Amino acid sequence: MVQPYLSVVIPVYNEEETLPFLCERLFKSLDALHKTYEVIFTNDGSKDQSLAVLKQYYQRYPDKVRIIDFHGNYGQHMAIMAAFEKSRGHVVINLDADLQNPPEEIYKLLEKMDQGHDYVGSYRDHRKDNIFRTYISKLMNWVRATLTDIQMRDQGCMFRAYHRHIIDKIVASQERSTFIPALGYKFALNPAEVEMRHEPRVVGSSKYSLYQLIRVSFDLITSFSLVPLQLFTLFGMAVSGLSGLLVVYLLVRRLMVGPEVEGVFTLFAILFFLVSVVIMGIGLVGEYLGRVFQTLSQRPRFVIREVIEDKNIGKGA
């Protein structure tokens, strides 16, 4: 089995309705490129018929389709990670299953790669998600740009191309709870970005709840920056300094004016504020500690039930 030029990696979670539309357009676009390719789908514990649909496409294109069937739902980034591990292409492209990233635009990523870039990200022209999602995403982009040295216009856009050397480094890093586009960027020597059309989801709805979006954002920040912890230290130092001044001031007042009890509510307001900051700080430390725990526990990041692929694949390149 020769190494294909291109590996296309697609995480799938309850996408039975979208998959036929996706495959229809994807294979047509890939054939039009006249390059050798493979498509790796990771079924991320779907509860619908996604796996059955994928198997139909495997029957149809056994030399091109490979399926990784996860034992449970490990999340989009781990689904991509598993497919990266299996991928063989010289260039690896990741896209969503829901057709929000049009497969017809894959050529744009490859054109940029041909210009000598080893990482080609993308940003969505006019984002077709609800206003709430769009604003959360803008905020998270700002937080990432402020706290980390990762520079990209649109971190939420997963439609990206990675050179084999980056994929090998991502796989070797054995990260968990990570954010793949940011990790890839870390290893890129010559990154670039292109604009992509963004389409509304054809069928089904977003697989992310608000809680999961928050979790992914935490993964992004805590994986790539210690700045939040350092900000807490700085804040603590500033508050200590101010409190010290307040103590001196109150002491002087005590001596000059005598005992006073007014201003209790102001005191409570300040106290509540500081206690909430302390609780947040404990949570933040917990985020980092949790990551250390996960890494040290050395459990597998995901469990694969089955890999459905042509038997000859993987038997030497």
Integer Cα distance of 106 and 93 in angstroms:
8
* Binding string, residues 66-105; x marks residues near ligand UDP by CB under 6 A: -------x-xx--x----------------xxx-x-----
- For ligand UDP, give the closer residue by CB, 44 or 219: 44
Interface with ligand UDP (CB under 6 A), residue from 3, 59, 146, 206: 206
Q: Tell whether residue 30 is a contact of ligand UDP (CB under 6 A).
A: no
193 binds, among ligand UDP, Mg ion, none (CB under 5 to 8 A by kind): none
Beta bridge partners of 307: 68
Q: Tell whether residue 179 is a contact of ligand UDP (CB under 6 A).
A: no
Interface with ligand UDP (CB under 6 A), residue from 6, 8, 12, 167: 12
Tokens representing 92 are 């690896």
CB atoms within 10 A of CB 36: 15
Q: Tell whether residue 15 is a contact of ligand UDP (CB under 6 A).
A: yes
Q: Tell whether residue 98 is a contact of Mg ion (CB under 5 A).
A: yes
Integer Cα distance of 26 and 206 in angstroms:
20
What is the crossing angle of helices 210-224 and 131-147, to 10°? 10
- For Mg ion, give the closer residue by CB, 108 or 127: 127
Q: Binding residues for Mg ion, how many (CB under 5 A)? A: 3
Q: Tell whether residue 13 is a contact of ligand UDP (CB under 6 A).
A: yes
12 binds, among Mg ion, ligand UDP, none (CB under 5 to 8 A by kind): ligand UDP
C-beta separation of 92 from 9 below 8 A: yes
CB burial readout 263-283, b (16+ within 10 A) else e: eeeeeeeeeeeeeeeeeebee
Give Cα separations from 252 to 49, 54, 255, 261, 293 (angstroms).
Answer: 74, 76, 5, 15, 49
- For ligand UDP, give the closer residue by CB, 38 or 96: 96
Q: What is the binding site for ligand UDP (CB under 6 A)?
A: 11-13, 15, 44, 73, 75-76, 79, 96-98, 100, 206-208
